[in-house]
Structure 1
């Protein structure tokens, strides 16, 4: 499998931002940067990208939860490009509690996405930074049965819970009703896995950084399988970002995992 290098020039990035705004058409000339980011920027209707930044041994944090330095500088720039090209970014409640992320676009030029948090059991306290940092709007999904603290200016959307949490399709439908169709599912591992299990992810980006952690949570935590014949084998292309290697995986929405689970678990351990 050949590895192509992504050389993101200012001209190419401006072209992608114009494509995002429907102000330009994607050029026909082959450019690895356009091949990776073009499908996100030009997506029409619902489009879900899942992104994982992990170590060589598939870890996204230490056992103590330290995850801040896993991705190299080019891996972080890649993540911020993805944020700038989508309408909304989704994370689980545990990611917010553990990492206190801003979920903004700081490393590249472009708009910051609406920030979406899945907080089924209303565990967030409202003291988390994203509720008071003056950044992009925040939407929080909670169970209709849960009572919790007020969350500043965040919009709280209450959904009827399923057996194990909130249905991923219901979340996407609610976002789509608000004009938010291009979605980045950023973390953690179980949140990403639930969207993959439900067959709702169009593309999966796995950015691998050349470090070995040895133990800790994995980047994607899907239910176990007995035979490799049941494993996901997506069409994949590999790119060098510079400090990190990107696996760009084409998934097929509507084709759930052998063990389908379309509810988002309340607890998200990465």
Structure 2
């Protein structure tokens, strides 16, 4: 039986960087960099970014922020400030709110500027999700510079503060970087549960085994907080015969609190709650944590929101030869009022899975 989604290697420049506990001086510098970033204009195509340069003893060498399209990036601004103060950044640390870019646009690549300036360490709150701009951290690390980046390195609080500052920009930039698979497991009449709410099991063992193999090949499994409260899923990947390895990030979407005893929390630290209902911001949260492939497993409200937003890249529809005639539907109101407005999909292939069928499709 063909598996359309074996585990994928990490994309170039997206390898996870080592997690660290930030020294107090770097923690304070990142808070300061966020303050500096907020000084930049919020209504331009470019993100608000701040940078603080530290000497090896933790004192400040220079500060900078991005002032809008066409102006020096925060890192270059901080290097210029250090030079104006008569400070040499060699051997120092650059603390930045967003990963230094490796792209040449109106200005040169920030990663190269920091490397040529001789900094010994770079800390950033969020990875740059851009295909051309991202990967500066990996480039710096390859040059022998100590790099600590992303929420695992700087802590969730500071990373969330950085994301709050540039959320709309980050969401736009992140959209192409995260491949979203919507999984549905339904009866022939499109039901995901019976009238009394029971749903285990609509599909059979072969379909469930395939779903676990798909889970094992993605970086994150996403559900709504309603599903967490109703089903208390563990959201682990448990394919038969597979060697145990790192689990995908388990993500709960919504503002309702996730109980402390919920199985989704696990004990490995691989849990995130995205307290938003905006699919674009959910994707931003995923991209900020290095997620490149995610499977969205429920519930219907969350799946509907992603479909309405055009944020589904692939559909995995598991169909069971069952009729219920009533109960929850897999998809809610999409705002479609005429057949011409239907969301159309292109079938990639169809696989029999025991008594069930899997249809894999992509947007037409």
Distance 1:49 1:184 in 2: 5
- C-alpha distance 79-222 of structure 1, shift in aligned 2 (>3 A): farther
Partner of 2:275: 142
- Which protein is richer in helix relative to its size? 2
SS at match of 2:207: helix
| Structure 2: runs of 5 or more not aligned | 12-175
Query: What's the TM-score once normalised by structure 2's chain length?
Result: 0.50
Among 210, 223, 239, which residue is 2:351 paired with? 239
Cα 1:45–1:142 change in 2 (3 A) is closer
Mapped to 2, the partners of 1:217 and 1:135 lie a distance apart of 33
Alignment of 1:188-199 (within 5 A): 188-199=299-310
1:226-261 CA-partner distances (Å, limit 9, x unpaired): 211111121113221223111111126xxxxxxxxx
1:255-270 equivalent positions in 2, closer than 5 A: none
Is 1:62 matched up with 2:194? yes
Which residue is equivalent to 1:114? Answer: 249
Alpha-carbon displacement from aligned partner over 1:32-71 (angstroms, at most 9, x marks no partner): xxxxxxxxxxxx9321111001111111111222112111
Shift of 1:117: 0.1
Per the alignment, in what secondary structure is the counterpart of residue 106 of structure 1? coil
User: Residue 224 and residue 168 in structure 1: after superposition, are their counterparts in 2 closer, same or farther (change >3 A)?
Assistant: closer
- Calculate the TM-score normalised by the size of structure 1: 0.66
- Report whether the alignment pairs 1:76 with 2:208: yes
Kindly indicate whether the alpha-carbon contact (under 8 Å) linking 1:141 and 1:171 is maintained by their aligned counterparts in 2: yes
Question: Could you tell me which residue of structure 2 aligns to residue 187 of structure 1?
Answer: 298
Deviation at 1:188, TM superposition (A): 0.6
Note if contact 1:65-1:98 (Cα within 8 Å) is conserved in structure 2.
Answer: no
- Structure 1: distance between partners of 2:268 and 2:320: 29
1:123 aligned partner: 257
1:73–1:243 contact (8 Å) kept in structure 2: no
Q: What whole-Å deviation, never above 9, does each CA across 1:144-185 have from its counterpart, x for those lacking one?
A: xxxxxxxxxxxxxxxxxxxxxx32111111211111121111
Q: 2:216 touches 2:239 (CA, 8 Å); kept in 1?
A: no
SS at match of 1:123: coil
Alpha-carbon contact 2:189-2:324 (below 8 Å) kept = yes
What are the ranges of 5 or more consecutive residues in structure 1 without an aligned counterpart? Answer: 1-5, 23-43, 144-165, 253-270
Q: Which residue of 2 aligns with 1:209?
A: 320
Match of 1:200 among 306, 311, 316: 311
Question: Which is further off, 110-119 or 96-105?
Answer: 110-119
Could you tell me whether the CA contact under 8 Å between 2:250 and 2:270 is conserved in 1?
yes
Return the offset for 1:212: 1.5
Q: Deviations over 1:176-197 (max 9, x none)?
A: 1111121111101110111111
1:91 corresponds to which of 223, 229, 232: 223
Asked whether the equivalents of residues 57 and 212 of structure 1 are also in contact (C-alpha less than 8 Å), the reply is yes
Corresponding residue number in structure 1 for 2:140: none
- Quick check: 1:84–1:111 contact (8 Å CA) kept in 2? no
- Structure 2 residue 339 is the aligned partner of structure 1 residue 228: yes
Could you say what secondary structure the match of 2:315 adopts? strand
Mapped pair 1:45 → 2:157 = no
Larger radius of gyration: 2
C-alpha deviation, 1:7, in angstroms: 4.7
- Cα separation, 2, equivalents of 1:226 and 1:180: 35
- Shift of residue 137, structure 1, vs aligned partner: 0.9
CA RMSD in angstroms, aligned pairs only: 2.4
Moved more, 103-112 or 74-83: 103-112
